[in-house]
């Protein structure tokens, strides 16, 4: 089994623009890496295809899932999130040095599962006569990655624990819409994604708390400070408290969700 220097290899996959090739290379990373080695600097913009066209969130059209095109547009939006999530996991491996090996193993697992999610969605889109890139999308997830590129603590706080946790809240309603539209296959994919995403958010929670402990910081106060500093979206219910508990949020953190400071409009992970 050849040795792959994980962080350097992850950088190459992060820079890969073709979705199918990126997914295949993630699988190779999982199968073959051993050592953790320092790569060049992570890029500000990851490798990604020329399409989809990236627009502001307000310009992404919303269509009814009760039409084939509308259902394809909804699934395309989720596929775009999963593609970004592959890049986010690879960026965490590549960008942040000096962490325990378990950190890199955790985010490699996330990259592997996000690659599977993207593949399942792309395959289902094909059955509807569409492909990834056929609809416009927005870049909200990567914009937060850019804001938090200089601090792994901020990254853990505001990507997995904020934007990706919103996926836990939104997924059941989207699944129900797909079922109501008669697309049981797509609903099953959403159910699989939700199960895996609970684990991904749990990884974010684990490393956020580990980093807070390393720096002697209070997790709740630190999260609030980082959210203000980086202009994180303010959270809006309903919240999937069962999934959030399973992902490791404490009762004190869940109680904070009811506070006015987290109310108001939010661009969710699935918007």
Does pTM top 0.85 for this prediction? yes
Domain encompassing residue 150: 67-262
Q: Is residue 14 part of a domain?
A: no
Rounded Cα distance between 219 and 74, Å, is 35
Q: Is residue 22 part of a domain?
A: no
Q: Is residue 60 part of a domain?
A: no
**Is 264 exposed, middle or buried, given 0-12, 13-18 or 19+ CB atoms closer than 10 A?**
exposed
Whole-number pLDDT of residue 38: 57
Mean pLDDT by 10 residues, the chain (271 residues): 67 91 89 64 79 84 86 95 95 92 94 97 97 91 90 97 95 94 96 97 98 97 95 90 97 83 38 35
Q: Is residue 98 part of a domain?
A: yes
Whole-number pLDDT of residue 153: 98
Could you give the number of structural domains in the chain? 1
Would you list the DSSP string of 166-211?
A: HHHHHHHHHHHHHHHTT-HHHHHHHHHHHHHHHHHHHHHHHHHHHH
Q: Is residue 154 part of a domain?
A: yes
Q: Is residue 77 part of a domain?
A: yes
Number of helices and strands in the chain (H, E)? 11, 0
Whole-number pLDDT of residue 262: 46
Q: Is residue 38 part of a domain?
A: no
């Amino acid at each position: 089994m050849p040795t792959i220097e994980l962080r350097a290899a992850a950088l190459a996959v992060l820079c890969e623009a073709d979705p199918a090739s990126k997914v295949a290379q993630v699988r190779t990373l999982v199968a073959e890496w051993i050592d953790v080695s320092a790569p060049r600097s992570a890029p500000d913009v990851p490798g990604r295809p020329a399409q989809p066209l990236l627009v502001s969130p307000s310009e992404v059209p919303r269509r009814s899932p009760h039409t084939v095109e509308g259902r394809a547009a909804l699934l395309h939006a989720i596929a775009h999130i999963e593609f970004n999530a592959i890049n986010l996991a690879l960026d965490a491996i590549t960008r942040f040095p000096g962490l325990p090996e378990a950190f890199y193993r955790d985010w490699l697992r996330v990259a592997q599962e996000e690659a599977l999610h993207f593949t399942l969605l792309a395959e289902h889109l094909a059955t509807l006569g569409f492909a990834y890139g056929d609809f416009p999308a927005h870049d909200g997830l990567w914009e937060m990655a850019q804001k938090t590129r200089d601090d792994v603590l901020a990254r853990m706080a505001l990507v997995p624990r904020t934007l990706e946790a919103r996926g836990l809240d939104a997924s059941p309603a989207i699944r129900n819409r797909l079922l109501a539209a008669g697309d049981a296959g797509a609903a099953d994919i959403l159910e699989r994604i939700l199960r895996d995403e609970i684990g991904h958010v749990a990884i974010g929670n684990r490393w956020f708390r580990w980093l807070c402990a390393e720096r002697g910081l209070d997790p709740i106060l630190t999260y609030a400070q980082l959210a203000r500093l980086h202009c994180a979206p303010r959270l809006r219910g309903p919240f999937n408290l069962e999934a959030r508990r399973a992902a490791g949020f404490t009762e004190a953190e869940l109680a904070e969700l009811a506070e006015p400071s987290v109310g108001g409009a939010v661009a969710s992970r699935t918007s």
